[in-house]
Structure 1
Amino acid sequence: MSIATALGTSFTDSKLRSAFLKWQCRVRQMAMRDADGRPDDGIMPALVLPGDAEPLGHIITILNKAPGYALVPEMQHMAARTNDPAERRAKAIEFLSSAYYQKHKEFSDILTSTFPPESKGAAQIRAAERCTLKFDAYNQRFDLVCKVWRLAPHNPLYQATMAHNALFNPGLHPDTEVLGFEPDWEASRAEPGI
């Protein structure tokens, strides 16, 4: 396991990293404010395995705050306050559309995604150990070459991902698998360039 994954974020001053995080904060804020929290192409990249020309599929990614800024207890409290999924979702959208995505420097560059227990797709991604996440939305494209990690339940990004997803999916299986995607900023690209 990399030190970045253990700590929840990489430590680099890459211009591409900063541009991507700013862009992600903006597209996620727009999804919360303008699309009622529904993910779009800015949040759902195509996932391409090494050697493949076609994507395995699209995944919904979570952009988590770095552990020093994480609001996991607040999200867990919101989820526990009501059994009404519509009320929970409304509170989550209100919370995430306010100031949550305002400061890109508070976010980890390790994206996460959930998969059902025993997912064949997740197993295939894990076995490849690397992939490219292709984001293409709002006249911007990012191709992120990533190392894939299976996150353990004690990992801060696992906990943040589960807390976030519980706000939108009350039926989230307790054995949900969380994969982390750690970008290699030197190998990744943007179009238009940064």
Structure 2
Amino acid sequence: MSSLAAQLGQSFSDNPLRLAFLKWQCHVRQLSMRNNDGRPDDAIMPEVTPRGAAEPLGAVITVMNKAPGYSVTPELQHMAAKTNDPAQRRQNALQFLSATYYQKAKEFSDILTATFPPGSPGAKTLHEAKHATLTFEAYGQRFDLECKIWRLAPHNLLHQATMAHNILFNPTLPPATEVLGFEPDWDASRADPPIGRR
């Protein structure tokens, strides 16, 4: 895996775990938007364990972004610009994201992203570790994703998509917010129960 994957917004693994995880994420995120007002739960907030650490650093709220060919970043930015009312902005986002947004797993990048406050010690620890395990556990399914960590620059498509998504739910997000990308190594990652055995 190279920085090219991070620039392109997705890796190109054909490991069956990749599509199984993306399908599961689409399902649980659609449930969150439709039934939980978009509030993240354990299916969206994995425990993050930096490589070499004995304990998780904590849980992070991840964003799953459309791959660049299917990007809706301009639509999300327009939605945010259309109103200054945070409640209306959130309602518009929930309507948009709970409709058909999560219906096609193949349209999504497998590089998950998360935002951190400017100067975040957690982001610094993760970036310096260069690798971490993301552990998702919810609805009777667990995924342990072994990930390479990228600090995404503002011009990166996934940085832009993440900020556009998160500003809809948190309009006070500072412009200098840090965005990290987590690029899974699918061959080193695991699922329990294993994919295809349910």
Q: What TM bracket, shorter-length normalisation?
A: over 0.9
Q: Show CA shifts across 1:129-176 (max 9, x none).
A: 000000000000000000000000111000000000010011010000
What are the residue-to-residue correspondences of 1:117-132 with 2, within 5 Å? 117-132=118-133
Find out whether 1:111 has 2:112 as its counterpart.
Answer: yes
- Unaligned stretches of 5+ in structure 1? none
Structure 2 partner of 1:191 = 192
In the TM superposition, residue 13 of structure 1 has moved relative to its aligned partner by 1.1
Residue 46 of structure 2: aligned partner:
45
Q: Which residue type is aligned with residue 96 of structure 1?
A: L
Shift of 1:54: 1.6
- 1:16 corresponds in structure 2 to 17
CA distance in 1, matches of 2:170, 2:81: 13
**Percent identical:** 68
2:77 alignment counterpart = 76
The answer for unaligned runs of 5 or more in structure 2 is none
TM superposition score normalised by structure 1: 0.99
- Secondary structure of the residue that 1:68 maps to in structure 2? helix
Residue-by-residue CA offset, 1:23-81 (whole Å, 9 max, x unaligned):
00000000000101000000000001122232100000000000000100000000001
Q: Matched residues in 2 for 1:187 and 1:178: separation?
A: 24
CA RMSD of aligned residues (A): 0.6
Distance in 2 between residues matched to 1:173 and 1:50, nearest whole Å: 29
Instruction: Report the Cα offset of residue 12 of structure 1.
Output: 1.4
Q: Deviations over 1:109-128 (max 9, x none)?
A: 00000001000110000000
Q: How does 1:54-65 map to 2 (within 5 A)?
A: 54-65=55-66
TM-score by length of 2: 0.97
Farther-moved stretch of structure 1 (106-115 vs 44-53): 44-53
